[in-house]
A and B are shown apart, each in its own frame.
Chain A
Amino acid sequence: MINALRSFLLAVLATAALTSPAFAQGAIKIGVLTPLSPPGDAAAGQFIVRGAKMAADEINGKGGVLGGRKIELIVEDDSGTPEKGAAGLRKLAGQDKVVAVVGQFHSSVAEAVQDLAEQLKVPVFLTQASAKKLTEKHLNYTFRTHVIDPDRVTLWNKWIQQQGFKRVAVLAENTDYGVGVVEETKKQFVSMNVKAELKTIIFDRAVVDLTPQILEIKNWKPDLFINVGIGTPLYLITKQAYDVGLFPAVPMLMSYDAPSRPEYWNTLGEKGTFATFIVYYHPTMKLTPRGEAFRARYLEQFKEQPVYGGLNAYAQVMLLADAMNAGKTDKPEDIVKSLLANKFVGWNGTIAFTRGEGPYWQQWTPPMLFLQYTKPEQAFPEAKIIYPPELKTGDLMLAPKR
Chain B
Amino acid sequence: MDAFILSQYVLSGLVIGVIYGLMALGITFIYSIMKMINWSMGEFYMIGSYVQYALLAGVLGWSLWYVALPVAMVSVFLLGLLVQRFLLRPMYVGGVERRDEYATIVTIALMVLFRNLAIVLGGPNQYAPRDYARATTLVTLPISGNRMVALLGTLVLLALFFLVIKTTWIGRAFRGAAQNRVGIQTAGVDVLRLDMLAFGVGVALAAAAGALLAPDFLVYPENGAISTFKGFEIIVIGGLGSILGSIVGGILLGVIEALGSVFLSPAYKDLYGFVLLIALLVFRPTGLFGERERTV
Task: List A residues at the B interface (Cβ < 8 Å).
Answer: 36-39, 42-43, 45-46, 174, 201-204, 206-213, 215-216, 219, 231-232, 235-236, 239-240, 242-245, 263, 266-269
- Residue of B16, B124, B127 most packed against chain A (CB within 10 A): B124
Please classify the interface of chain B as helix (H, G, I), strand (E, B), loop, or mixed, using the class held by over half of its residues.
helix
**B125 contacts A206, CB within 8 Å?**
no
Cross-chain pairs A/B with CB under 8 angstroms, 22 sampled: A37-B124, A42-B125, A203-B266, A204-B267, A204-B269, A207-B226, A207-B266, A208-B226, A210-B266, A212-B12, A212-B258, A212-B266, A213-B261, A215-B9, A216-B262, A232-B218, A236-B218, A243-B144, A243-B147, A245-B135, A266-B128, A268-B128
Cα of A38 to Cα of B147 in the assembled complex, Å: 24
Distance (Å) between the CB of B128 and the closest chain A CB? 5
**A207 contacts B126, CB within 8 Å?**
no
CB within 8 Å of A: which of B22-46? none
Determine the chain A residues whose CB is within 8 A of the CB of B265 once the complex forms.
202
Cα of A240 to Cα of B258 in the assembled complex, Å: 15
Task: List B residues at the A interface (Cβ < 8 Å).
Answer: 5, 8-9, 12-13, 16, 119, 123-128, 130-131, 135, 141-144, 146-147, 215-218, 220-223, 225-226, 257-259, 261-262, 265-270
**A201 contacts B142, CB within 8 Å?**
no
Cα of A147 to Cα of B129 in the assembled complex, Å: 34
Cα of A395 to Cα of B225 in the assembled complex, Å: 42
**B8 contacts A36, CB within 8 Å?**
no
**A267 contacts B12, CB within 8 Å?**
no
**A213 contacts B216, CB within 8 Å?**
no
Give the residue of B130, B221, B262 whose beta carbon is less than 8 angstroms from that of A38: B221
Cα of A215 to Cα of B267 in the assembled complex, Å: 16
Cα of A239 to Cα of B142 in the assembled complex, Å: 13
Give the residue of B8, B16, B268 whose beta carbon is less than 8 angstroms from that of A209: B16
Cα of A210 to Cα of B267 in the assembled complex, Å: 11
Cα of A312 to Cα of B157 in the assembled complex, Å: 50
Determine the chain A residues whose CB is within 8 A of the CB of B267 once the complex forms.
174, 202-204
Determine the chain B residues whose CB is within 8 A of the CB of A266 once the complex forms.
127-128
**B124 contacts A43, CB within 8 Å?**
yes
**B13 contacts A212, CB within 8 Å?**
yes
**A267 contacts B128, CB within 8 Å?**
yes
Cα of A136 to Cα of B62 in the assembled complex, Å: 49
Determine the chain B residues whose CB is within 8 A of the CB of A174 once the complex forms.
267
A77, closest chain B residue (CB): B124
In addition to A37-B124, A207-B266, A269-B128, 5 A-B residue pairs with Cβ atoms within 8 Å of each other are A37-B221, A211-B12, A235-B128, A239-B128, A268-B128
Determine the chain B residues whose CB is within 8 A of the CB of A202 once the complex forms.
265-267
Cα of A63 to Cα of B245 in the assembled complex, Å: 69
- Residue of A236, A243, A245 most packed against chain B (CB within 10 A): A243
Determine the chain A residues whose CB is within 8 A of the CB of B221 once the complex forms.
37-38
Distance (Å) between the CB of B79 and the closest chain A CB? 22
Q: Given A266-B128, A267-B128, verify A38-B220 contact (CB < 8 Å).
A: yes
Distance (Å) between the CB of B265 and the closest chain A CB? 8
Q: Given A243-B142, A267-B127, A267-B128, verify A212-B262 contact (CB < 8 Å).
A: yes
B215, closest chain A residue (CB): A239
Distance (Å) between the CB of B148 and the closest chain A CB? 10
Q: Given A212-B258, A212-B262, A215-B8, verify A267-B126 contact (CB < 8 Å).
A: yes
Give the residue of B135, B220, B258 whose beta carbon is less than 8 angstroms from that of A232: B220
Give the residue of B123, B215, B266 whose beta carbon is less than 8 angstroms from that of A213: B266
Distance (Å) between the CB of A257 and the closest chain B CB? 16
Distance (Å) between the CB of B120 and the closest chain A CB? 10
Q: Given A36-B124, A174-B267, A212-B261, verify A245-B218 contact (CB < 8 Å).
A: no
Cα of A157 to Cα of B90 in the assembled complex, Å: 63
Q: Given A211-B12, A211-B16, A267-B128, verify A204-B270 contact (CB < 8 Å).
A: yes
Cα of A46 to Cα of B259 in the assembled complex, Å: 38
Determine the chain B residues whose CB is within 8 A of the CB of A267 once the complex forms.
126-128, 218
Cα of A263 to Cα of B123 in the assembled complex, Å: 12
Cα of A27 to Cα of B217 in the assembled complex, Å: 45
**A215 contacts B12, CB within 8 Å?**
yes
Cα of A129 to Cα of B180 in the assembled complex, Å: 57
**B226 contacts A206, CB within 8 Å?**
yes
Cα of A244 to Cα of B261 in the assembled complex, Å: 17
**A201 contacts B266, CB within 8 Å?**
yes
Distance (Å) between the CB of B42 and the closest chain A CB? 12
Give the residue of A36, A201, A236, A263 whose beta carbon is less than 8 angstroms from that of B217: A236
Q: Given A38-B221, A216-B262, verify A235-B126 contact (CB < 8 Å).
A: yes
Distance (Å) between the CB of B55 and the closest chain A CB? 16
- Residue of A42, A45, A202, A242 most packed against chain B (CB within 10 A): A42
Distance (Å) between the CB of A119 and the closest chain B CB? 30
Cα of A368 to Cα of B130 in the assembled complex, Å: 32
Give the residue of A203, A212, A232 whose beta carbon is less than 8 angstroms from that of B126: A232
Q: Given A38-B221, A215-B8, verify A243-B135 contact (CB < 8 Å).
A: yes
Cα of A263 to Cα of B221 in the assembled complex, Å: 16
> Which 7 A-B pairs rank lowest in CB-CB distance, beginning with the nearest?
A42-B124, A243-B144, A38-B222, A212-B258, A203-B266, A211-B12, A37-B124
Q: Given A213-B266, A219-B5, verify A263-B226 contact (CB < 8 Å).
A: no
Distance (Å) between the CB of B9 and the closest chain A CB? 6
Distance (Å) between the CB of A276 and the closest chain B CB? 21
Determine the chain A residues whose CB is within 8 A of the CB of B13 once the complex forms.
212
Determine the chain A residues whose CB is within 8 A of the CB of B217 once the complex forms.
208-209, 236
Distance (Å) between the CB of B70 and the closest chain A CB? 24
**A243 contacts B143, CB within 8 Å?**
yes
**A207 contacts B130, CB within 8 Å?**
no
Cα of A42 to Cα of B127 in the assembled complex, Å: 13
Determine the chain B residues whose CB is within 8 A of the CB of A39 once the complex forms.
222
Determine the chain B residues whose CB is within 8 A of the CB of A245 once the complex forms.
135, 142
